[in-house]
A and B are shown apart, each in its own frame.
Chain A
Amino acid sequence: MVAETGTARDPSPETSPGTPSVLTRLLRRPLALAGLVIIAVVVLAAALAPWLAPYDPYEQFFDGLTIEGAPLPPNAQFWFGTDLVGRDLLSRLIYGAQTSLVIGVAANGIAVVIGSAVGISAGYFRGWTDTVLMRFTDLMMAFPALLLAIVLAAIFRPSLWIVAMVIAMVNWVQIARVTYTETRSIAERDFVVAERAMGAGAGRILLRHILPHLLSTIIVWATLGIATTVLLEATLSFLGIGVQPPIPSWGNIIFENQTYFSSAPWLVFIPGAAILALALAFNLVGDALRDILDPTQQGRH
């Protein structure tokens, strides 16, 4: 049955030589376009924070609190309201975008690169490489991630980039595990044997033939990782070993204010929504990329 439908399919009409570029095709998909817009907004906010933010993010406004000392809900002066000490939430969110982008994109990106590299090499080379790399991965998995992060953060002096490195160090293991398993099954497939039979080196096989097949898995894990790393950074900040207050990050804004969740819900909802939107945006773009890069998924019949 399968063989029949496979061979019976007529060669579909010409893929024209002028196939549009990946970016053009990305922009043609409404969901991917929405994702790109959100990412652009966050990146611009982070880059242009000093010019965009209406107030100084560290300034505690005298009129930022009610008479009873409670934070202000969103109003005409403070669009997103104020936090517990009377600082403007919008300005803090805009500055916080810098931190969260570094953590969510850079730290997570490093984790994805390390994880994929370890998983793919272990899965393809097998033997000793496999044993050493995967036992090390298992060791890292068995170690409580938070404890490891605390130890690493305590050794180095806390700063944004150290936090990013720490997060990358604890987050690569899951991706290594997943890519390892998939690489093993792909490496057994005939086309990889065929590549070896024509003398292709390991580099070509890994980068040009195995990696493209793993892209969809890697993209899914990478986008999932954005939300978790942003929250892990918040956890570390809360424990005092992450980004040091009063520097804002989306994660530590939530943590600072979570005790007032019932009386001032906007302080948790708005930064939470920002994290969600960023993760969702990367997810939409990632999904679209996966479909565009897979020639067998093209919708021509």
Chain B
Amino acid sequence: MSSARAMEQDQATGRLAVTGLTVQVATPAGARTVVDGLSFTLEGGKTLCIAGESGSGKSMTALSLMQLLPKPMARVSAGTAMLAGRDILALPEAAMRAVRGRSIGMIFQEPMTSLNPVLTVGRQLGGAISAHGGLSDAAIRARALELLDQVQIPEPARRLKQYPHELSGGMRQRVVIAMALAQNPQILIADEPTTALDVTVQAQILALIRKLQADLGLSVILITHDMGVVAEMADDVLVMQHGQMVEHSPAGVIFSKPRHPYTRELLAAVPRLGEMAGTTAPKRAGESADAAKPTHAEPLVAVKDLTVRFDIKGGILQRPMQRVHAVEGVSFDIMPGETLSLVGESGCGKSTTGKALLNLIPWQGQISVGGRATHGLGARAMRPVLRDVQMIFQDPYASLDPRMRVGELVAEPLQIHGLASGSELADRVAYLFDRVGLSTDQMRRYPHEFSGGQRQRICIARALSLSPRLIVADESVAALDVSIQAQVLDLLQDIQNETGMSYLFISHDMAVVEQISHRVAVMYMGRFVEMGSRTQIFENPQHDYTRKLMAAVPVADPARPRRAFMEKAEDLPSPVHALDYTPPRHAPRDIGGGHLVWEAR
């Protein structure tokens, strides 16, 4: 009895000491070490951030601590992790089940996939609460309500009856956190908990984790690739590269005096909001670019009153029942050689706007590209327009046919438009590979043989092959590591400086937008709320929503005061309306120099 109590006492401190953790995965060529001799100590009540780029072994570390590695392909080959006097890496499965949930709770990246879509929130939360048995239904319900209240979900009683798809992304992640906390663990492992969320929601979730930590005395291991999140959260930081620890220091030291070159590299690659203050051109624009830019040319693309609505069909006859107002009366111009950025959170209609420019979805309004109106054009009539407008998608792997060689993929647009054949085609493709910084002897490989950044370069080469005048870049760097992201952004800007290309740059990342844009439009619920030059938007934001977006961006500076806890989460207004709904129209207010603000009243 007394030993058990002592253990509980010890456990309550939430101190975890890891020594020499080594994880190997099986490959046909033999074992490959993905985590190499990692040692660290998580002190009770503190936050340890494990930072690194994809493939650095940070997720493997988290999974091995929970004994959740995908066996038998991956295994812990050496090392110990002492928690409350026991080595949790050596515990048998039955004993480990008592550790999971009770001693260590875990949150994953994508809240939708870590919840079961066919069970209500109440059932899933109840399952987590009673996982080790012995509670009455009333007690489970009371505990569930208490947990939902703890993670700041409004109207907890109603939420218990809802299904995951009825909740917003931030709400779902709160439910996942509530489940992880159900058994009062002392340690919380969060693996990229906010990567899939919008910035404003990310700020709320991070603040929530900090509050829970203060209230419950949790120790937190936070795994992230985002140095901004590290600065917001960490007491201690562990930087990993290729499975090895390259630096382990207190947060203040990492940011002010990084010792290892890799840490410095990582920090240098992070775009910082506000670092462009006082300039008007994008980061890499040469001195000549401004002079070369024609001042009052015809706009390359003119969009007027673009409206996109989707019908939701239902009933026996599949009649339209409701309507999604994805984009509502958006107007903008893009000048030659200009980058216009669309910023907003997921579901605001920014990708839909980009797709409408290429006629990939049905829309109403007027769009003209190089003087040609594109409304209602069929696939064949659209072809000459598509030579002027091309698109780069978010996920470079998904947008390349995995069964074709990359050389063929890059040649394809030229063949479709009949622009080149034979040796001319081969020369042109070789030139494009060279242009985006790939070597021509990689042409015979398949997409899966390339890294994420290289694949995005292939997508860029494909888009460039038609020598378009506008490229729609839809979250084109969002899926890339920061260092790769910086390289791809540089490439895009170099191409612009060289050829006078225009970009419609669609992104949720304010810091990236600040680097690359000439002009910025902020979108919310299918409408523009503010549009103006980069300086106007970033140095003099007028709309509340713009300010909110900027305040939410995590800043890679631990000295900056951490933001106070925010009020309860709110549901987003829904873009789904009845069929007879006519949206109100707002006129923009010009507050000088083309800086337009739409009031949200």
> How far does the alpha carbon of A293 sit from the alpha carbon of B397 in the complex, in Å?
19
> How far does the alpha carbon of A296 sit from the alpha carbon of B441 in the complex, in Å?
19
Stretch of A152-160, A195-203, A280-288 contacting B (4+ beta carbons < 8 Å): A195-203
| B382 at the binding interface (Cβ < 8 Å) | yes
| B136 at the binding interface (Cβ < 8 Å) | no
> How far does the alpha carbon of A191 sit from the alpha carbon of B459 in the complex, in Å?
10
Contact status A191-B391, CB under 8 Å: no
> How far does the alpha carbon of A116 sit from the alpha carbon of B208 in the complex, in Å?
53
Which residue in chain B gives the minimum CB-CB distance to A212?
A: B403
Complex A-B: 25 CB contacts under 8 Å: A7-B55, A7-B452, A8-B55, A8-B451, A11-B451, A19-B444, A190-B395, A191-B398, A194-B459, A194-B462, A195-B412, A196-B360, A196-B379, A197-B390, A197-B391, A198-B390, A198-B466, A199-B413, A204-B416, A209-B401, A209-B404, A294-B403, A295-B405, A296-B402, A296-B446
Contacts of B387 in A (CB 8 A): 199
| A139 at the binding interface (Cβ < 8 Å) | no
Q: State the main secondary structure of chain A at its contact with B.
A: helix
- Tell me which of A7, A15, A198 contacts B413 (CB under 8 A): A198
Contacts of B441 in A (CB 8 A): 14
Which residue in chain B gives the minimum CB-CB distance to A5?
A: B55
Contact status B401-A191, CB under 8 Å: yes
Contact status A191-B27, CB under 8 Å: no
What 20 additional pairs, Cβ within 8 angstroms, besides A15-B445, A198-B466, A202-B379?
A: A1-B59, A4-B59, A7-B55, A11-B451, A14-B441, A17-B444, A191-B401, A197-B358, A197-B360, A197-B390, A197-B391, A198-B386, A198-B413, A199-B382, A209-B404, A213-B403, A295-B446, A295-B448, A301-B27, A301-B28
B440 CB, nearest partner CB in chain A, Å = 12
Which residue in chain A gives the minimum CB-CB distance to B455?
A: A7
Scoring B residues 360 to 384 as 1 if CB is less than 8 Å from chain A, else 0, what string do you get? Answer: 1000000000000000000110110
Contact status A197-B386, CB under 8 Å: yes
| A146 at the binding interface (Cβ < 8 Å) | no
A203 CB, nearest partner CB in chain B, Å = 11
Contacts of A20 in B (CB 8 A): none
| A12 at the binding interface (Cβ < 8 Å) | yes
Contacts of B55 in A (CB 8 A): 4-5, 7-8
> How far does the alpha carbon of A240 sit from the alpha carbon of B379 in the complex, in Å?
53
Question: Given contacts A190-B395, A213-B403, are A199 and B383 in contact (CB under 8 A)?
Answer: yes
A196 CB, nearest partner CB in chain B, Å = 6
Contact status B416-A200, CB under 8 Å: yes
Contacts of A10 in B (CB 8 A): 451
| B565 at the binding interface (Cβ < 8 Å) | no
B415-461 contacts to A, CB under 8 A, are 416-417, 441-442, 444-446, 448-452, 454, 459
> How far does the alpha carbon of A14 sit from the alpha carbon of B443 in the complex, in Å?
10
A293 CB, nearest partner CB in chain B, Å = 8
> How far does the alpha carbon of A5 sit from the alpha carbon of B397 in the complex, in Å?
13
A301 CB, nearest partner CB in chain B, Å = 5
Contacts of B442 in A (CB 8 A): 11
Contact status A191-B400, CB under 8 Å: yes
| B29 at the binding interface (Cβ < 8 Å) | yes
B277 CB, nearest partner CB in chain A, Å = 33
| B162 at the binding interface (Cβ < 8 Å) | no
Contact status B412-A200, CB under 8 Å: yes
A91 CB, nearest partner CB in chain B, Å = 46
Scoring A residues 257 to 301 as 1 if CB is less than 8 Å from chain B, else 0, what string do you get? Answer: 000000000000000000000000000000000000111100101
Interface size on A, residues (CB 8 A): 39
Contacts of A191 in B (CB 8 A): 398-402
Contact status B29-A301, CB under 8 Å: yes
Contacts of A208 in B (CB 8 A): 404
| A3 at the binding interface (Cβ < 8 Å) | yes
Question: Given contacts A198-B413, A198-B466, are A7 and B360 in contact (CB under 8 A)?
Answer: no
Q: What 10 pairs across the A-B complex have the smallest Cβ distances?
A: A8-B55, A190-B398, A295-B446, A7-B452, A199-B386, A190-B399, A194-B399, A199-B383, A198-B413, A197-B391
Contact status A198-B54, CB under 8 Å: no
B41-78 contacts to A, CB under 8 A, are 54-55, 59, 63
> How far does the alpha carbon of A299 sit from the alpha carbon of B29 in the complex, in Å?
11
A2 CB, nearest partner CB in chain B, Å = 10
| A193 at the binding interface (Cβ < 8 Å) | yes
Contacts of A293 in B (CB 8 A): 403
Scoring A residues 34 to 66 as 1 if CB is less than 8 Å from chain B, else 0, what string do you get? Answer: 000000000000000000000000000000000
Chain B contact residues, CB within 8 Å of chain A: 27-29, 54-55, 59, 63, 358, 360, 379-380, 382-383, 386-387, 390-391, 393, 395, 397-405, 412-413, 416-417, 441-442, 444-446, 448-452, 454, 459, 462-463, 466, 479, 481
Contact status A199-B54, CB under 8 Å: no
> How far does the alpha carbon of A212 sit from the alpha carbon of B404 in the complex, in Å?
10
B445 CB, nearest partner CB in chain A, Å = 6
Contact status A6-B59, CB under 8 Å: no
Contacts of A6 in B (CB 8 A): 397, 452
> How far does the alpha carbon of A7 sit from the alpha carbon of B480 in the complex, in Å?
9
> How far does the alpha carbon of A253 sit from the alpha carbon of B540 in the complex, in Å?
89
| A28 at the binding interface (Cβ < 8 Å) | no
Contacts of A213 in B (CB 8 A): 403
Contacts of B459 in A (CB 8 A): 194
Contact status B54-A8, CB under 8 Å: yes
> How far does the alpha carbon of A170 sit from the alpha carbon of B397 in the complex, in Å?
40
Contacts of A194 in B (CB 8 A): 391, 393, 399-400, 459, 462
Contacts of B382 in A (CB 8 A): 199
Contacts of A14 in B (CB 8 A): 441, 445
> How far does the alpha carbon of A213 sit from the alpha carbon of B402 in the complex, in Å?
9
> How far does the alpha carbon of A213 sit from the alpha carbon of B401 in the complex, in Å?
9
- Of B386, B401, B416, chain A has the most CB atoms within 10 Å of the CB of B401
Contacts of A7 in B (CB 8 A): 54-55, 451-452, 481
> How far does the alpha carbon of A93 sit from the alpha carbon of B302 in the complex, in Å?
74
Contact status A198-B393, CB under 8 Å: no
Question: Given contacts A198-B466, A301-B29, are A12 and B390 in contact (CB under 8 A)?
Answer: no
Contacts of B454 in A (CB 8 A): 11
B402 CB, nearest partner CB in chain A, Å = 6
> How far does the alpha carbon of A121 sit from the alpha carbon of B55 in the complex, in Å?
40
> How far does the alpha carbon of A15 sit from the alpha carbon of B406 in the complex, in Å?
12
A100-137 contacts to B, CB under 8 A, are none
B422 CB, nearest partner CB in chain A, Å = 18
Contacts of B416 in A (CB 8 A): 198-201, 204
